[in-house]
Amino acid sequence: MNLLALLIGIFLESATTKLFHLRSPRVAQVYIPMWFGLIKKNRFLNTVVVIFSLLLVLLPVILINIWLVIEDEKILYIIFSVIVLFFSFGPHDLVSDVEDYQKALNDPAGNAEKEALLIEAALPLTEIREHSMLEACSRTVTEGILAQGNKRFFAVIFWYLIFAAILPFGPVGAAMFRTTNSLRRESFKISQNQSDSHISQATEVNGIFRQIQGLLGYIPARLTALSYVLTGNYDRAMYALKNIDYSQASDFYASNQAVMQQTGTAALDTPDKLAMADPKVAKDCTTEALNLVKRSALVWAVIIALLTLWGTLN
């Protein structure tokens, strides 16, 4: 039942592109500023406040899930799971984000205008607002695509399956990962906005969610990297996976990023930053990164389909 809902959710993700605007993180945008008055200098108390508030955000999903399980409403549970999964895969369509960046690459605007367009188009994929070198932008976007594949898709599936295996609470697992990632992203945006008066509180909230995301993403990131090994250049990717450079990783979240990006770029044999200054090379590389994510998603879907079939036969 859980696996069937997951397969339907994956299909819905790829088939309903016109509805992706519904997945924008409106709850996160409204909810985060409400915390700022509660954030003080005590990190432990701040963490307790944030986790308790997170539970409140998830409470409707938890209560509906409990009711469906108690009432043994199997059909409604599947429908509910599909709806939650649709909103959990996101917040945007990865294909559309990549296409927007590629359009910016080919924009005929002047240097200053084009740089602004590229950085704006790169934001959903990298969350980086400044680049020391414009030619480094496309390399960063390629790495961002590889990381976003996990945060928007694979990690959601992982936590859905984990919660479904322990208790029939798959939707709660998917919503938990999506919600924490959305809140992390939105608090990061506020912390980077120099005109906002709540920068310090947003930075504190972002740090807490970054730690939570680091823990929740630790295993999914490595499973995603392994799927990149299986669907890309096996020898290069496996060597990279065994020799990850964690020197720039300050926490679990950064180490998760390093694993996916270094393994994925090795699987693609991605050119260096200077070579990617060529818009054609950059377009090809970002397309290849997106295709690697798609192939990995196919592997995950096949495994889930086989598990569904095995569960049906047994």
Q: What is the pLDDT of residue 101?
A: 92
Q: What is the pLDDT of residue 41?
A: 80
Output 104-108 pairs: Cβ under 8 A, ≥24 positions apart: 105/138, 105/279, 105/282, 105/283, 106/279, 106/283
Q: What is the pLDDT of residue 234?
A: 95
Contacts of 33 by beta carbon, 8 Å cutoff, 6+ apart: 190, 198
pTM score: 0.87
Q: Residue ranges per domain, the chain?
A: 2-313
Q: What is the pLDDT of residue 26?
A: 59
Residue 169 tokens, joined: 């609470």
Q: Which amino acid is at 189?
A: K
Q: How many CB atoms lie within 10 A of CB 6?
A: 27
What is the DSSP-derived secondary structure letter of residue 168?
A: S
Greatest distance between any 2 Cα atoms in the chain? 63
Q: What is the pLDDT of residue 2?
A: 63
For tokens 């390399």, the residue is 139
- Each residue's pLDDT expressed in tens, for the chain with a length of 314 residues: 666 666 666 665 555 554 554 455 555 666 677 777 778 788 888 899 889 888 988 999 999 999 999 998 989 998 899 889 888 887 778 888 999 999 988 877 656 677 788 888 888 898 876 665 666 788 899 999 999 999 999 999 999 999 988 888 999 999 999 999 988 988 888 888 766 667 888 888 889 999 999 999 999 999 999 999 999 999 999 999 999 999 988 899 999 999 999 999 999 999 888 788 888 999 999 999 999 999 999 898 888 888 777 766 66
The answer to whether the beta carbons of residues 230 and 238 sit under 8 Å apart is no
